[in-house]
Amino acid sequence: MRPPLMIFNGSSHPFLGVELSGHLGVSLGKRDLHLFPDGEISLAILEPVQGTPVYVLQSLGIDPNFHLMELFILIDALKRSSAEKVTVILPYYAYARQDRQDRPGSPITAKLLANLLTLAGADRLIVIDLHSEQIEGFFDIPVEHLQSNEVLIPYCKKLQLENVVVVAPDKGGIRIAGIYAKELNAPIALIDKERLNPFEVEMRLFVGNVKDKTVLLVDDMCSTGGTLVNAAKVCSDLGARKIVAAVGHGLLIGKSLEDIENSTIELLITTNTLPVSDQVQSHPKIHVVSIAPLLAEAIQKSI
């Protein structure tokens, strides 16, 4: 009997693949994936997929160039094996911040990636927290854009934070802050950033009041941690009583873990759209919420 769907995962986020397959009650598709001595990727699909809807999971936040090539090869192998439809699940979409020409001669790499995924044979895409919604329009295939706040907001509610104000750490975070504020029935504040020179940024509270409040800083991602840490300092200096942060993608690169530990942020809530390192897992100020149930629900609705 043909299974209702099959899930294959690349090598970028093995734990999430196992977790997702567990939520759906299916086994991960068998494939032989390794490197040749010269570094080229070798792949073979080890079970029949003909006529079956297939989902391919690959997160692109760590070593994105390698994992992109691996993904293209995996899609091609499944299409050549006559899979009915290949849906690509990208919990983290690489190059999303390169979504426009910010200077003459620069590429629009987010659009290029959309073209390459379609050319490789992807029939549909599931993504979480695109850096800008315009990226959806880069595709000629259906895109389902999921929001991490669907798992982060319920966790925030469980914390039973009192006297909350939702703070956007820059103007780009206003839309996300609005969603949290509505769900938590809380006011909004906005921090404004002004770049003084290539190395210095000045931040100040532009709208709202944080004095004696519990601040909930929200953003789509935390990369180096600089924006969140500096925004937390602004709020602390203005008399905030407690500071919690919630972000969809926890890249947490460079000195971010050390800077967060030494900051006025008491708790950073993020998701596992990217692999969770042992350092993140054991960090005293970081809690990771799984997005596997969110992905499983999206897949079940599409069957």
The catalytic residue positions are: 193
Residue partners of 299: CB distance under 8 A and separation at least 6: 5, 24, 55, 87, 126
Question: Where do the DSSP E strands lie in the chain?
Answer: 6-9, 31-35, 41-45, 53-57, 85-90, 124-128, 143-146, 164-168, 188-197, 200-207, 214-222, 242-250, 267-271, 286-289
Give the Å distances, CA to CA, from 266 to 57, 99, 175, 209, 239: 33, 33, 24, 19, 15
Query: Could you give the maximum distance between any two Cα atoms of the chain, in Å?
Result: 64
Contact yes or no for 298/291 (Cβ under 8 A) = no
The token pair that represents 47 in the structure block: 């079970």
